Structure 1
Amino acid sequence: MKLVVVSAGLSTPSSTRLLADRLTAAAVGRAGPAAEVEVIELRDLATAIAQHLTSGFPPPRLAAALDAVAAADGLIAVTPVFAGSYSGLFKSFFDVLDKDALTGTPVLLGATGGTARHSLVTEHALRPLFAFLRAVVVPTAVYAATEDWGDDGLARRITRAGAELAGLVGPFEPATAVDTTPDTDTAAAIAPRSLTGANTSVDPADGFEIVPFAERLAALKG
């Protein structure tokens, strides 16, 4: 299995690269020692990407990076959040990638930001981009805000996402079961349980009573 990691972090050290490394470790931990990993730091290719956009010809280092992504069995793509979306450098790299290069390729998405308010960037920006490229995006995308580092919820999401990528790429080594405990930032966790269908009986601790629709309708008619 060849796993390619694209990190669009700009600083050194970079929280974006840190998230990319943790996602990689989770995927490799499930895929086994046969996994081959190549990391592409986009900040080192910024000038080459600009040259390709203006000339139509990629310099050698960029050409090698584009070939690596096209040949990958699985891709991890992580970007910092700028102005509520992926960074321009991140988008520019995938703009110069051949439009068919990621067709059918399993992709794990990640993003980092300073606040949890941007946590849906993986869904409203990243996922549509890779759907357009016809990649197979794993169900769990991972967003890490500043306050998430060291939190058990982030660790669970990373583990689950890595396992999903490894499962799509190919057979992986047996491992302990992935923790599927709902995270507090998922829609199902924050929605009332009466709306998600999770409650089948009355729980006094909830502070409300569930009345079957037929009984409510009969009471209104009466």
Structure 2
Amino acid sequence: MKQIAVITAGLSEPSSSRMLADQLAADARRHLEAAGEQVQVEVFELRDFAVDIANNFVAGFPSPRLNAVIDTVLTADGVIAVSPIFSASYSGLFKSFFDVVDNKALVGKPVALGATGGSARHSLALEYALRPLFQYLRSAVAPTSVYAGPADWGNGDETVDGLADRTDRAGSEFAALILNQGPVQRPAAAEERSFEELLAQSTS
């Protein structure tokens, strides 16, 4: 069983970031299933955890519900991460979530990147903001990242390099990274440390 964690930072409902994340997950699932794998996908919309993420910065440790999201990300075979683009970069909520994840926990983790925005000009943020973030975290990032703007939705886009082609290519590359990696090892679990240890770390 291959497990995929999907992190999306869209703020509206419905969210174009969630729509793009769902398409990437569907394409990755299809390629993995074609390779004979069973696939489980879990989707987390960060707007539902915004207060928990903020409280993590104050308290120094995650709430149980946020810890469950982090744990799923850490133990997943791969992560799909999609953010809306604001001021030529990922959203503050998106960055804040990955700030509370151990910066060594995603080393070698297959990651597929996506972004959405109101203008095609924002597509550069994938290569100048999102990809450098995950390169810093030393993740194994799929070569193709996908940007979706207003023109990509609702137009039956089946042209060369259209949205469907891009998500299929990214899903294929992401699936290949998952299939080529070794067994996922669970990092040192937060629940194995006492509350006192976590509190001491936050005040050190």
**TM score, norm. by length of structure 2:** 0.82
What's the secondary structure of 1:120's corresponding residue?
A: helix
Structure with larger RCO (C-alpha < 8 A, sep 6+):
2
User: Is 1:55–2:68 an aligned residue pair?
Assistant: no
Q: Secondary structure at the match of 1:119?
A: helix
Gaps of 5+ in 1: 172-222
Which residue is 1:100 aligned to? Answer: 104
CA displacement 1:161-205 (0-9 Å, x = unmatched): 00001111017xxxxxxxxxxxxxxxxxxxxxxxxxxxxxxxxxx
Measure, in 1, the Cα distance between the counterparts of 2:123 and 2:109.
24
Residue 80 of structure 1 pairs with residue 89 of structure 2: no
Q: Tell me the TM-score normalized by structure 1.
A: 0.75
Q: Which residue of 1 aligns with 2:30?
A: 29
Aligned residue pair count: 171
Q: Which of the two has higher C-alpha Rg?
A: 1
Q: Summarize deviations over 1:103-123 as a string: whole Å, max 9, x none.
A: 100100000001101111110
Q: Secondary structure at the match of 1:5?
A: strand
The reply on whether 1:16 has 2:17 as its aligned counterpart is yes
Q: Aligned partners of 2:9, 2:104: CA distance in 1, in Å?
A: 21
1:163 is aligned with what amino acid?
A: S
Distance, in Å, in 2 between the alignment partners of 1:136 and 1:164 is 11
8 A Cα contact 1:69 1:101, kept in partner: no
8 Å contact from structure 1 (residues 7, 40) kept in 2: yes
Deviation at 1:17, TM superposition (A): 0.2
Give the corresponding residue for 1:5. 6
Q: Aligned residue for 1:109?
A: 113
> What corresponds to 1:156 in structure 2?
165
**C-alpha separation between the residues in 2 aligned to 1:107 and 1:24?**
11
CA distance in 1, matches of 2:143, 2:61: 35
Runs of 4+ in 1 over 3 A off after TM superposition: none
What's the CA shift for 1:57? 1.4
CA-atom RMSD in angstroms: 1.0
Unaligned residue ranges in structure 2 (runs of 5+)? 181-204
